Amino acid sequence: MISFFKGEYSWLSNFEKVKINYEGRTYPSVEHAYLAQKCDDEGWKHLCTTTKYRAGDLKKVSRDVELREDWEEVKVFIMYDLLKLKFTQEPFRTKLLETEDMELIEGNWWGDTFWGVDVNKDEGQNILGRLIMKIRKEIRDGKY
């Protein structure tokens, strides 16, 4: 089991540097691309393509953007699309396949029980980990 996307497994993190080409723009990480989709403002989307902000800093700034109306309905689908873009390119594809059947848990201590598992409470949906495991299976099955 991989219980944190840190250290040896930091490459699983959405903050890891990787070029993500999505909807005509290139982003420096999955996190940058994901945050850009939260809002329809073109200026915001452009800001997310730059490396002016590291992923964690951009995440903090994104709390002030006006969310698109359908955000709650589309955010998981968008994350899945972005993760596919990351994990179907090298070296991420090979690294992901090397995890074989290990359970991937995005453990955290900041209370995220949607995308990950809050290690203080030992609870969470682990949506991020589950999406990555789904992509791993799809790669193995020859879908990508």
Other C-beta atoms lying within 10 Å of the C-beta of residue 119 = 16
CB-neighbour burial class of residue 68 (10 A; exposed 0-12, middle 13-18, buried 19+): middle
Per-residue model confidence as pLDDT tens digits over 7-54: 999 999 999 999 999 999 999 999 999 999 999 999 999 999 988 889
Q: How confident is the model at residue 86 (pLDDT cuts 50, 70, 90)?
A: very high
- Three-state DSSP class for 83? helix
CA distance 112 to 128: 11
- Specify the pTM: 0.94
| Domains of the chain, start order | 7-140 (1.10.357.40)
